[in-house]
Structure 1
Amino acid sequence: MASSARRKRVLAVASTGGHWQQLMQLAPAFEGSDVTFASTDAGQAENYDFERFIALKDYNQNEKLKMLAGLAETFGVIRRLRPDVVISTGAAPGLLCLLWGRVMGARTIWVDSIANSQEMSLSGRLAPKFCHVVLTQWEHLATESDGRVQHWGSVL
């Protein structure tokens, strides 16, 4: 009898630059899943042969009105896709996708940037409040976190 199990729906989100590069390093782990990639750099859709890609607006903690608009935008993305898993390597738009993903029942994974070697990023410090798994790429940052942040190695 054929299995009727559907493939996991994954939303993989990152801002541009190093966040995106690190997410692309993780991409092979999503094989066998229905993956939608999302980035604040719409040009990435042309650089990679993705079946599904969403361009998100970019903003940061200092842009309050843009963040409010981002709350609505990311809510719409999560509501439409209904992912089983949301993973992000940063920054703010990815964190908001994780927030809505958790609210709507997805498993959520935050991977803090390897660039944050002295302390977790602001988003990385917020992620343990609602993400299922929060990872740092620096072992000493995990040991300082009372177990809320884990170190499984580095992406790069």
Structure 2
Amino acid sequence: MKVCLVGSSGGHLTHLYMLKPFWESQERFWVTFDKEDARSLLKDEKMIPCYYPTNRSIRALIKNTILAWKTLRKEKPDLIISSGAAVAVPFFWLGKLFGAKTIYVEVFDRIDKPTVTGKMVYPVADEFIVQWEEMKKVYPKAKNLGSIF
């Protein structure tokens, strides 16, 4: 199975990295910001840089949508996993067109309110994971697997 792990650098990347027991035995690639923390953490990993800042940036969304199209066509992942933020949106929506399964992990610090990214990918996520039982009121189809910390 080929896995695409996509997310912003910083806390979102840390969330994804903590899933290492799952992804370490899989063929994989990462899509994240080309920043020092990401380069350091992923120094031995295949990393595709995405555009930022993404916070409510239409320009970055357009650029990352083009990047997602090209990357997904070339890499053909079976599974796309993300914990946010905005860069996940085009990868999830286009990933469905390419036949990939998608798993979204809502971030730990959201206890009872959705993130913007979570709301945008919820309709196309094959699995939507929350870390607090209260979040199942926000995302009824979600699975609470508890904290990944």
Q: Same fold (TM over 0.5)?
A: yes
Q: For residues 43-85 of structure 1, give each alpha carbon's deviation from its aligned partner in whole angstroms, at most 9, with x where no partner exists.
A: 3233334341111112435211221122111111111110000
Q: Which is strand-richer, 1 or 2?
A: 2
Runs ≥4 residues deviating over 2 A: 45-51, 59-62, 143-146
**Residue from 23, 26, 45 that aligns with 1:30:** 23
Cα distance between partner residues in 2 of 1:141 and 1:47: 29
Q: Which residue of structure 2 lines up, in the alignment, with residue 5 of structure 1?
A: none
TM-score (norm 2): 0.90
RMSD (CA atoms)? 1.6
TM-fit CA distance, 1:41: 3.4
Structure 1: unaligned runs, 5 residues or longer = 1-7
* Identity within the alignment, %: 22
The answer as to whether partners of 1:89 and 1:110 remain within 8 angstroms in 2 is yes
TM-score (norm 1): 0.86
The answer as to whether partners of 1:37 and 1:50 remain within 8 angstroms in 2 is no
**Residue from 64, 73, 78 that aligns with 1:70:** 64
The answer as to whether partners of 2:53 and 2:60 remain within 8 angstroms in 1 is yes
- Against the structure 1 CA distance between its residues 112 and 41, is the aligned structure 2 distance closer, same or farther, given a 3 Å change threshold? farther
The answer as to whether partners of 1:59 and 1:93 remain within 8 angstroms in 2 is no
**Residue from 27, 41, 44 that aligns with 1:47:** 41
